[in-house]
A and B are shown apart, each in its own frame.
Chain A
Amino acid sequence: MLVENESGALSRIAGLFSARGYNIESLTVAPTDEPSLSRMTLVTSGNDDIVEQIKKQLNKLIDVVKLQDLAEGDHIEREMMLIKLKAAGPDREELKRLTEIFRAKIIDVTEASYIVELTGASRKLDAFIEAVPEGLITEVVRSGPTGILRGAKGLTL
């Protein structure tokens, strides 16, 4: 979604979901190259009728400038994760290997820990978490997915 870069816009959208009983699975927002607009990627669920109604209700909001349902087309989704791991003794090597397999990056190292950065489809992030041996995860920070349609056409005004 492209939304007006105004203070009330986010609460209008969040408020719509809570007032109408729709759920937000994840939500990312950041400014775009056009300073008056923010780009928002929102993941929700529901049958076709509900999703249709959600789209109509969102479009009705005056702060929502443009809306695209990525699920309707061929699209790319990426999520970023920062994960802090306990990395001492023999686990250190094991975790390093795992990081390489997933093409992740170790971006912070102490004697007892790593912070790993991993970007990819949400499923890939899930898989990494599952692959980490029991008990070694200290903290997980995920951005929630953002997405874009494939091809030459863009979501612009």
Chain B
Amino acid sequence: MQSHLADGPDPNATDPALLSGAEITIQALIDEGVEYVFGYPGGAVLHIYDALFQRGDAIKHVLVRHEQGATHAADGYARATGKCGVCLVTSGPGATNAVTGIATAHLDSIPMVVITGQVPTPVIGSDAFQEVDTVGITRPCVKHNFLVKRLEDLAETIRKAFFIAQSGRPGPVVVDIPKDVTDPNIKIPYIYPRDIGIRSYNPAKRGHLGQIRKAVETMLAAKRPIFYTGGGAVLDNAAAPLTELVRALGFPITSTLMGLGAYPMTDKQFVGMLGMHGTYEANMAMHETDCLIAIGARFDDRVTGKIEHFCPHAEIVHVDIDPSSISKNVKVQVPIVGPVGSVVTDMLSILRESGGRPDQSALAAWWQQIDAWRGIDCMRYDRSSPMIKPQFAVETLYKVTNGDLYLTSDVGQHQMFAAQFYPFDKPRRWINSGGLGTMGFGLPAAMGVQLAHPDAQVACISGEASILMCIQELATCKQYSLPIKVVLLNNGYMGMVRQWQEFFYESRYAHSYVDALPDFVALAQSFGHVGMRVEQPDQLESAMREAFAMKDRFVFLDVIVDPSENVYPMICAGKGHHEMELPPTMSERELA
């Protein structure tokens, strides 16, 4: 029986195997092709853990040290591979600990299936030990969730969960399984449904060709066009057709924080990230454009600035898989609902068939204007500083890793510096929590990435405040020998909070100083890792080279950076794209 199961259920077999709910759960994951389960055991999932134990190596379980870590690790795995991340946690506190990670995945549309244990069905609603209403708590931060009340529904529900998580606009799906449903003594025939239809759920498979044609006409008529791409371009693996289309048209392209890498950032047509900490050229181009082509982006408030000032001259084409993203914040003229990869491919073939070319002289003038804006050098910083500047640290990281890196991030100034100064040329390389902005995301996410790509260079850029939020995962990294490199930009402050307090609260630094910091070198060592500290700019490169040369070790690099540095440019609250704050070293005259 054991060997028969290892190959999955045999469709020709007359008698399907008899399995318990716990065994069904594990077998269903195997049948989904799941490689890793990130989890943490507890009473309500013990039957499932026992079934997992009995299946040996058929599926790899990664024991995290906090359920938040499980969700971020599964999320990082999903972002780096495009596959579905999977978690297994117990009821009550296990489920509540997972909520932050579920919400993180939800806001960035990351495919994830989270299996939570629940108290047995007869005691649901009685405030039983470790009972919470998991389906109720997670409802607003999942794509969908299920409470499985009957063993007969289990296999189909898991199949539906994977289908929903990975199709259409992806997202996390929670499957809450009461303990009695996994009872090892109650067995039923197991058949894993391959094709399931959900009558109320039919995500678009292609965009409307008439609309796509209209979009191409709009693009060809433009004088000052710009592409604006978001996380959807990465999620739908649209990088190749997108790059081809942008090059064929010769238009400038900007990207949100979530879309970085979908188009090569070192390419001349890429004008940098847009939005609150975007480049001067990207934001000015947004303000002046007469044709905005939004691809898998959702007009988030960090991107648009004040809506009244957003793209005042533009006709807007918007491609998105989710109809509710279209005309939600900004009204658009050419909406296209569909998977961005297929729509962009259709755009490309329609463009080629039409034989049309954009207005070359208008485009040349537009590029001339953009290059003038570029000339402002809006991300300039003091390169002669006796202290390590965070920007310099990121540039050095780029140099040392030759641009070939999976980089996860926490949340704060370091995240913005990384996005600004590490140009990613490939998608799925830049992995950060953009929507929810979850401090603590970086380290566990890096675990998922490193497991997915065991031979790749993986680093986590973090701040001394963020890293402490999931620091317990250093133990997981040790247990699974994950050779991640943590690059800690240690400014001794919650830098991003301090920056806002400096700008908007007359430098009253209310609780943004991280007092009583640990000795990170000793901390890393106590977990069995290598710890290094760098304080001098001229020692940074060699220290990083040393760290990355340790191919099989986890290295924690504590980089002491200038505590007073701020992220520029910045669009402050209530301002438009054309009203950026630039680095203070630049005089008004330079800008004129």
Contact = CB atoms under 8 A, between A and B. Distances in A.
Interface of A: 4, 7-8, 11-12, 15, 19, 49, 52-53, 56-57, 59-60, 62-66, 157
A12 B139 contact: yes
B135 A8 contact: yes
A57 B324 contact: yes
B185 interface: no
B351 interface: no
B323 A56 contact: yes
B144 A62 contact: yes
17 contacts: A4-B200, A8-B139, A8-B145, A11-B139, A15-B140, A19-B140, A49-B331, A56-B323, A59-B323, A60-B322, A60-B323, A62-B143, A62-B198, A63-B200, A64-B200, A65-B200, A157-B199
A65 B135 contact: no
B547 to A, nearest CB: 44
Contacts of A63: 200
A49 B327 contact: yes
A53 B323 CA distance: 9
Contacts of B139: 8, 11-12, 15
Nearest to A12: B139
A44 B199 CA distance: 26
A53 B164 contact: no
Which of the listed residues B144, B200, B327, B328 has the most CB atoms from chain A within 10 Å of its own CB? B200
Contacts of B200: 4, 62-66
B328 A62 contact: no
Contact of A53 (B135, B145, B324): B324
Nearest to A66: B200
B147 interface: yes
B201 A62 contact: yes
A60 B136 CA distance: 18
A57 B198 CA distance: 18
Contact of B324 (A11, A56, A66): A56
Interface in B473-494: none
A12 B200 CA distance: 14
Nearest to A2: B200
A102 to B, nearest CB: 40
Nearest to B140: A19
A8 B140 CA distance: 12
Interface in B281-335: 322-324, 327-328, 331
Given A12-B139, A56-B328, A60-B322, 13 more contacts: A8-B135, A8-B145, A8-B147, A11-B139, A19-B140, A53-B328, A59-B324, A62-B143, A62-B144, A62-B198, A63-B200, A65-B200, A66-B200
A54 to B, nearest CB: 10
A30 to B, nearest CB: 19
Contacts of B145: 8
A62 B327 CA distance: 21
Interface string B137-169: 001100111010000000000000000100000
Interface residues of B, number: 19
B439 to A, nearest CB: 23
Contacts of A11: 136, 139
A60 B201 CA distance: 8
Nearest to B168: A60
B140 A65 contact: no
A62 B323 contact: no
Contacts of A62: 143-144, 164, 198, 200-201
A83 to B, nearest CB: 36
Nearest to B145: A8
B32 to A, nearest CB: 19
A11 B324 CA distance: 20
Contacts of B323: 56, 59-60
Contacts of B331: 49
Interface in B192-223: 198-201
Contacts of B199: 65, 157
A145 B201 CA distance: 28
Sorted nearest first, the 9 A-B pairs with minimum C-beta distance are A56-B324, A65-B200, A62-B144, A62-B201, A56-B323, A19-B140, A57-B324, A60-B324, A15-B139
A59 to B, nearest CB: 7
A156 to B, nearest CB: 12
Nearest to A64: B200
A157 B200 CA distance: 9
Contacts of B201: 62
B356 to A, nearest CB: 32
Contacts of B135: 8
Nearest to A8: B135
Contacts of A57: 324
A11 B145 CA distance: 12
Contacts of B143: 62
Contacts of B198: 62
- Most A CB contacts (10 A, CB to CB) among B135, B143, B201, B327 go to B201
A117 B327 CA distance: 45
B482 to A, nearest CB: 36
Contacts of B322: 60
B140 A52 contact: no
A4 B328 CA distance: 26
A157 B198 CA distance: 12
Contacts of A65: 199-200
Contacts of A52: 327
B213 to A, nearest CB: 24
Contacts of A12: 139
A62 B143 CA distance: 9
Contacts of A4: 200
B424 to A, nearest CB: 31
Nearest to B164: A62
Nearest to A67: B200
